[in-house]
């Protein structure tokens, strides 16, 4: 069998599209952001990607009907200043380094076929503590893109992230650069302890401005409030008069 298999439901034409990747990762920031944008601009699924680099697993819907774990491709045709946008999101990233490389190579080949103009990869930047106003850090395939992104409020901070970027959000840039495909990574700050809608919102506000998209953030904000509620409850438990070692267990 093939390592990777795409099933197309439609094969749309694109004009200099933008590719936005948001797969599971730190705080699930990238996936949350990409999925919220897909919903907001009513992007349409046109393909599913299956691979033996994903876990051997099916997921169930509420009825009991299964689907194989996958990555999915959505598109939204441009309007006015808003360009054609293609989205890559999904259940998992590749399980092994080889799988990561093969999957990113596969996506890059599609991107070249579609004559993608620019790739945005979305992710979280785990800082190990709760944060009120997450910054959006950036990385790019060339210094001109760095300058452009600075103008959009993206923070480029020497030594952050110090260990580079691991996974699809990094590889699409790294392999893209070799192939001559321009790409930017936007990383929302996040504690990394929870699924983090606040980090996703920060990333989306920057991306929305770049792509000339109007986004309603209510849903993300309400998710963020729920998380805040949970974490503040946890804080209360954590700081009784006589703190105990066990109370910190949830961080582990």
- Where on the chain is the footprint of a copy of itself (CB under 8 A)? 1, 5, 7, 50, 52-60, 62-69, 94-95, 97-98, 100-102, 104-105, 138-143, 146, 156-159, 161, 163-168, 170-171, 173-175, 177-178, 185
Alpha-carbon span 22 to 35, nearest angstrom: 8
Minimum CB separation of residue 171 from a copy of itself in Å reads: 5
Beta-carbon contacts of residue 241 (< 8 Å; ≥ 6 apart): none
Alpha-carbon span 27 to 128, nearest angstrom: 11
Q: Which is nearer to a copy of itself, 77 or 177 (CB)?
A: 177
Minimum CB separation of residue 94 from a copy of itself in Å reads: 8
Alpha-carbon span 73 to 67, nearest angstrom: 16
Minimum CB separation of residue 75 from a copy of itself in Å reads: 21
Q: Which residues pair with 8 in a beta bridge?
A: 47
Q: Which is nearer to a copy of itself, 37 or 202 (CB)?
A: 202
Minimum CB separation of residue 233 from a copy of itself in Å reads: 23
Candidates 28, 72, 68, 67; CA nearest to 52 is 68
Q: Which is nearer to a copy of itself, 118 or 213 (CB)?
A: 118
Asked whether 116 and 17 are in contact (CB, 8 A), the reply is yes
Q: Which is nearer to a copy of itself, 148 or 238 (CB)?
A: 148
């Amino acid at each position: 069998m093939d390592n990777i298999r795409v099933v197309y439901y439609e094969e749309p034409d694109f004009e200099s599209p933008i590719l936005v990747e948001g797969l599971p990762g730190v705080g699930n920031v990238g996936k949350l952001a990409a999925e919220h944008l897909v919903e907001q601009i009513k992007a349409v699924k046109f393909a599913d990607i299956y691979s033996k680099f994903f876990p051997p697993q099916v997921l169930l819907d509420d009825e009991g009907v299964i689907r194989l774990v996958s990555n999915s491709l959505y598109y939204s045709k441009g309007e006015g200043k808003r360009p054609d946008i293609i989205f890559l999101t999904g259940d998992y990233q590749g399980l092994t380094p080889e799988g990561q490389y093969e999957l990113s190579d596969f996506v890059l080949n599609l991107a070249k076929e579609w004559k993608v103009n620019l790739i945005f990869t979305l992710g979280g930047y785990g800082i190990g503590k709760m944060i009120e106003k997450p910054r959006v850090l950036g990385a790019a395939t060339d210094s001109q893109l760095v300058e452009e992104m600075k103008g959009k409020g993206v923070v480029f901070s020497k030594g952050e992230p110090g260990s580079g970027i691991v996974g699809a959000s990094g590889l699409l840039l790294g392999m893209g650069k070799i192939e001559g495909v321009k790409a930017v990574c936007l990383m929302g700050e996040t504690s990394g302890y929870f699924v983090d809608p606040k980090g996703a919102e920060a990333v989306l506000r920057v991306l929305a401005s770049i792509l000339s998209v109007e986004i309603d953030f209510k849903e993300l904000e309400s998710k963020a409030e729920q998380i805040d509620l949970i974490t503040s409850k946890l804080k209360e438990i954590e700081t009784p008069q006589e703190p105990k070692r066990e109370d910190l267990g949830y961080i582990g």
